[in-house]
Amino acid sequence: MRARLTALVLCLWPLAGQALDLSLPTSATLSAEVIEDPGSYQLPIGPFEEAKVPSLEVEGRLVQQAWRLEAQSLTTLQILTPLRDQLRQDGYETLLDCSGRECGGFDFRFATRVMPAPDMFVDLLDYRFMSLRQGGEGGSTGYVSLLVSRIGVTAYVQVIYVAPAGSAGVSVTADARESLPRAFTAQPVAKSLLEQGHVILSDLNFQSGSSDLGEGPFQSLVDLAAFLKADANLRVALVGHTDAVGALDPNISLSKRRARSVLERLVGAHDVPRAQLDAEGMGYLAPIAPNLNKAGREANRRVEAVLLNSE
């Protein structure tokens, strides 16, 4: 695999004639394409409920494409986020943004238009869907839906674009560029959160028996803040831990206060939205080393960040 990012460039020519670039990470290849001119598409605008998917019938020149890429440790959220951000920056408004069970799971998947296998595979427990409109209701210049899923180390992306009458439609080519935000690179905090689901904020310091966080600056908090601010849908729980000296209840209280101190530092000094953070304390119930010596007890006194479900 080429060690670079491959861009999926969609050149959309609505009546205004402006192009739109969407970038996918790693090496992306076009698996299949269907063009209907004119075509009609029931664009999902809500999750499955009451035995149907709420939809908007849109007509025009329809282009449906399936793309395949080597995802390795990338999640469906990481793949979708740069596409979503680009569309929003180019004036598209979101009609529906959901994932897996939130969309309706099996029922949603089989009630909407999807390329057949092997060009497009959809894991019913791990997929994300978006529909967007450009130009506003009554004066739209185009509609787009994105469906992202992954099976093993391979990810699948379906793009459906419906252009108004007179538009040239959609043209897709591959080009090399970096498109992922810093939080989705190999930066240690982000890497641990994305690959292991948690990370120890190992450079933090507290005074003995106190919940007061040291002055810092702490690089782990700088990196964690960058990770969270790259995508407002990401959430973490800050979890405090202590050694086994003393009774359980006071240790749980101390560990939670320390986690809360870290939360307040992220909000106050790093401008992380409070809604993306939670604080909990485990006391001495989750050690990572024996409490029989000083080194073990120091290792157990820590605060971890745990990546939460974004649904």
Q: Residues 192, 172: one domain?
A: no
Distances (CA, A) of 60 to 12, 41, 167, 310: 13, 9, 9, 34
Confidence of residue 190 (pLDDT cuts 50, 70, 90): confident
User: In this structure, what CATH number is given to the domain that contains residue 232?
Assistant: 3.30.1330.60
Burial label for 21, CB within 10 Å (0-12, 13-18, 19+), is middle
Give the span between the Cα atoms of 244 and 292, in whole angstroms.
9
**Considering the domain boundaries, does residue 1 fall inside one?**
no
Is residue 174 within 8 A of residue 8, CB to CB? The reply is yes
Confidence of residue 197 (pLDDT cuts 50, 70, 90): confident
**Considering the domain boundaries, does residue 206 fall inside one?**
yes
Burial label for 214, CB within 10 Å (0-12, 13-18, 19+), is middle
Task: Over range 146-166, report the average pLDDT.
Answer: 86
Q: Residues 57, 136: one domain?
A: yes
pLDDT tens digits for 114-135?
Answer: 999 888 999 988 999 999 998 7
Q: Given this model, what pLDDT does residue 215 score? A: 85
Q: Given this model, what pLDDT does residue 128 score? A: 96
**Considering the domain boundaries, does residue 57 fall inside one?**
yes
Q: Is the pTM of this model over 0.75?
A: no
- Assess whether pLDDT exceeds 90 at residue 176: no
Confidence of residue 138 (pLDDT cuts 50, 70, 90): low
**Considering the domain boundaries, does residue 16 fall inside one?**
yes
Confidence of residue 3 (pLDDT cuts 50, 70, 90): very low
Domain count, the chain: 2
**Considering the domain boundaries, does residue 226 fall inside one?**
yes
Question: How many Cα atoms occupy the beta-carbon half-sphere of 103 within 13 Å?
Answer: 28
Q: Residues 197, 280: one domain?
A: yes
Residues across the chain: 311
Q: Listing from the earlier edge strand, what are the strands of the sheet with 154-163?
A: 28-44, 55-70, 154-163, 142-151, 127-134, 92-99
- Assess whether pLDDT exceeds 70 at residue 165: no
Looking at 130, 159, 176, the residue that finishes a domain is 176
Task: Over range 15-28, report the average pLDDT.
Answer: 54
Q: Residues 166, 189: one domain?
A: no
Looking at 146, 176, 206, the residue that finishes a domain is 176
**Considering the domain boundaries, does residue 213 fall inside one?**
yes
Nearest CA among 29, 35, 43, 80 for reference residue 61: 35
- Assess whether pLDDT exceeds 90 at residue 53: yes
**Considering the domain boundaries, does residue 194 fall inside one?**
yes
- The domain in which residue 186 lies consists of 182-307
Three-state SS sequence of 105-148: HHHHHCCCCCCCCCCCCCCCCCEEEEEEEECCCCCCCEEEEEEE
Confidence of residue 21 (pLDDT cuts 50, 70, 90): low
At 310, the amino acid letter reads S
Task: Over range 64-79, report the average pLDDT.
Answer: 84
Give the span between the Cα atoms of 113 and 185, in whole angstroms.
33
- Assess whether pLDDT exceeds 90 at residue 23: no
Q: Which residues pair with 146 in a beta bridge?
A: 130, 159
Looking at 120, 152, 176, the residue that finishes a domain is 176
Least confident of 181-195, 196-210, 273-287: 181-195
Q: Residues 293, 164: one domain?
A: no
Q: Residues 41, 131: one domain?
A: yes
Task: Look over the chain and give the mean of its residue pLDDT values, rounded to a whole number.
Answer: 82
Q: Given this model, what pLDDT does residue 142 score? A: 84
- Assess whether pLDDT exceeds 70 at residue 85: yes
- Assess whether pLDDT exceeds 90 at residue 253: yes
Q: Residues 52, 126: one domain?
A: yes
**Considering the domain boundaries, does residue 66 fall inside one?**
yes
Greater pLDDT, 98 or 209:
98
Q: Residues 104, 216: one domain?
A: no
Confidence of residue 2 (pLDDT cuts 50, 70, 90): very low
Task: Over range 99-113, report the average pLDDT.
Answer: 93
* Highest-pLDDT range among 19-33, 176-190, 250-264, 296-310: 250-264
Q: Residues 192, 166: one domain?
A: no
- Pairing state of beta strands 127-134 and 92-99? antiparallel
Give the span between the Cα atoms of 119 and 115, in whole angstroms.
7
Q: Residues 20, 164: one domain?
A: yes
Least confident of 193-197, 217-221, 289-293: 193-197
Q: Residues 257, 116: one domain?
A: no
Greater pLDDT, 121 or 216:
121
Concatenated DSSP letters of the chain: --SS-EEEEEEEE-TT--------SS-EEEEEEEEEEEEEEEEE-S--BTTB--EEEEEEEEEEEEEEEE-TT--HHHHHHHHHHHHHHTTEEEEEEEEHHHHTHHHHHTTS--PPTTT----TTSEEEEEEEES-TTS-SEEEEEEEEEETTEEEEEEEEEEPTT--EEEEEEEE---S-GGGSS-HHHHHHHHHSEEE-TT--B-TT--PBPS---HHHHHHHHHHHT-TT--EEEEEE--SSS-HHHHHHHHHHHHHHHHHHHHHHH---GGGEEEEE-TTSS-SS-TTSHHHHHHHSEEEEEEPP--
Task: Over range 160-170, report the average pLDDT.
Answer: 68
Q: Residues 116, 27: one domain?
A: yes
Greater pLDDT, 9 or 119:
119
